[in-house]
Amino acid sequence: MITAGIDVGSLATKVVLLNENQLMSHEVSGTGVDATEAVKKAMDTALEKAGISFKDIESLVSTGAGKKKVPFESAQATEIICDTKGVSHICPGVNGVIDIGAENCRVIKCDQEGNIIDFALNDKCASGTGIFLDAMAKALRVKPEEMGELSLQATQDIEVTSMCSVFAESEVVSMIHRRVPKNDILRGIHRSIASRICGQANRILLEGQLVVMGGIAQNLGLITILKELMGSELIVPDEPEILGALGAALLAGEGEGEK
């Protein structure tokens, strides 16, 4: 059975196509202003990569902040369910998930079978999410993808105290003024965001073997500090941003969203 999972994130839209739970193809593209359009495009590309056409898909599940904007008929599921599903598929037996996306940070605690025990979502403040990092990257004039690497080359510990992403930005600017090395600032930023995430994880007593997913999981600098702070074993799978979409496609395989 061919199934599709669509994860419409606030920044990135992800599509995963599975055949009998085996990956056929996936696509990540920007969500932009028009989510509907973005989904269509991502879907077309994924279909093309897989060499099939839309009518071959038997079942569809969509998730993510923009799941209601998906233009195809599909079942909907929350990110918590899809994340857990996707994670326990590729890393069975883990104790939990940390999903850091653009505007969201979710922590999920689950048991060996992948049942959700507890979870916590971030509140309305943007600090502790991808957008915060993106803004900092901009202030420091580095690419978001490079931030992590650079922060690992830091030589001293400095503290970024503002939790508000907007104020943190000016704090960072003032550090640049004081000629604090970029790498050290980056490390400070990562530390501040990691402690925020750590606090969220603490709220549900998350520990043990954890998978980090979402776009930000690719940021090695953050992962390193997070590991240090949490004292947990953190696993970052390949292409961590598509796990939500993968989970959705797996759910579709379980009979949700059949056409």
Judged by the rule CB under 8 A, the positions of this chain that interact with another protein are: 10, 33-35, 65, 77-81, 103, 115-121, 123-126, 131-132, 135, 161-167, 169-171, 173-174, 176-179, 195, 198-199, 202-205
Q: d(Cα 214, Cα 130) in Å, to the nearest integer?
A: 9
* ∠ Cα 217 219 220 (to 5°): 105
117 vs 164, beta carbon nearer ligand SF4: 164
Exactly one of 3, 74, 95, 104 binds ligand ADP (CB under 6 A); which one? 104
Backbone angles phi, psi at 6, to 5 degrees: -125, 125
Shortest gap between Cβ of 41 and ligand ADP (angstroms)? Answer: 15
Is 6 in contact with 256 (CB distance < 8 Å)? no
Indicate whether 236 belongs to the interface with ligand ADP (CB under 6 A): no
1 vs 164, beta carbon nearer another protein: 164
User: How far, in whole angstroms, is CA 148 from its chain's centroid?
Assistant: 15
Q: What is the DSSP code string of 136-166? A: HHHHHT--HHHHHHHHHT--S-------SHH
Q: d(Cα 6, Cα 12) in Å, to the nearest integer?
A: 11
Q: What is the DSSP code string of 117-140? A: EEEEE--S--TTSHHHHHHHHHHH
Q: Give residues in contact with ligand SF4 (CB under 6 A).
A: 125-127, 164-166
Q: Which of ligand ADP, ligand SF4, another protein, none interacts with 81 (beta carbon under 5 to 8 A by kind)? A: another protein
Indicate whether 218 belongs to the interface with ligand ADP (CB under 6 A): yes
Shortest gap between Cβ of 53 and another protein (angstroms)? Answer: 28
Exactly one of 5, 114, 128, 214 binds ligand ADP (CB under 6 A); which one? 214
Q: What is the rounded radius of gyration, in angstroms, for the C-alpha atoms of the chain?
A: 19
Shortest gap between Cβ of 133 and ligand SF4 (angstroms)? Answer: 12
- Coil/strand/helix, residue 237: coil
Name residues contacting ligand ADP, limited to 54-93 (CB under 6 A). Answer: 64
Q: Which residues bind ligand ADP (CB under 6 A)?
A: 9-12, 64, 101-104, 130, 134, 144-145, 214-216, 218-219, 241
